[in-house]
Amino acid sequence: MKTKGQLVWPIYYEVEPSEVRRQSGIYGEAMSEFEQKFGHESEMVWKWRSALTEVSSLSGWVYETGYHSYEYKFIRKIVRLAVESLPRYDVFLSFSGEDTRYSFTGFLYNAFRREGFNIFMDDEGLEGGNQISETLMRAIEMSRLSIVVFSENYAYSTWCLDELAKIIECKKTKNQMVWPIFHYVEKSDVCNQTKSYGEAMAAHEERFGKDSEKVQNWRSALSEIANLDGHHFRENEYQYEFIERVVDLAIAIGNQ
């Protein structure tokens, strides 16, 4: 909360905020037991006490049986407020960090930021993981536009392919916009999975099996997104002019 600016909402379920804040009642009994176990001067126990006091001083909700007759209504209210409070992104960038993180995609990200777009780019270099993180899943879900930068090694990354499958899902269920950018690769190579894309998918089939549902979903996502209207970046173009056109198009759509 202090270092990352996270939202914290306390919910008091059949307890009083004052009992949590002052550690009285059952909270006082619990902390006394911890002091007996770890010692009255235990740094750990003092941190727990401090955390209880600090979090219970924040604005929150009290649930009491009888006052809130229907628990599901109480929960629904909190969920609605949470959804409204969570950050939403204008643009999500899907890309191969190996190819374009510190070049094309990095410049594209900065260009969007300069124009005031709230844009999500996985800048922590997490692609070594086996599964796409929940943070990225939520970022895709909460974006208005996903831009997929297809580059030479994009299809080798299972992380990128999982992002792609999620993007397709959100396109279908949330009517999100998706723009493919073909960065020194041909649209047909992505769509038909030839050249580096064919080699990458063959490697995935060898690893997961030719009949793997996961691989079939990845193939389908590649073909489907590659068939959308997109943008081609080729060697005879100035990178800054190409990026400027993409950002200007996003601005025009945002103003509609």
Catalytic positions, written as ranges: 163
Q: What are phi and psi of 232, to 5 degrees?
A: -110, 125
Distance CA 48, CA 38 (A): 12
Q: Where are the alpha helices (DSSP H) in 10-131?
A: 17-22, 25-38, 43-56, 71-85, 97-100, 104-114
Q: Which amino acid is at 129?
A: G
Cβ–Cβ < 8 Å for 168, 224: yes
Q: Which tokens in the block code for residue 212?
A: 């793997």
**DSSP letter assigned to residue 211:** T
**DSSP letter assigned to residue 11:** E
Q: Which tokens in the block code for residue 125?
A: 């270099």
Q: Which of 233, 141, 242 is nearest to 187 (CA)?
A: 233
Q: How many CB atoms lie within 10 A of CB 152?
A: 18
Cβ–Cβ < 8 Å for 9, 58: yes
Sign of CA dihedral 209, 214, 219, 92: negative
Helix (H, G, I), strand (E, B) or coil at 82: helix
Sign of CA dihedral 23, 25, 29, 30: negative
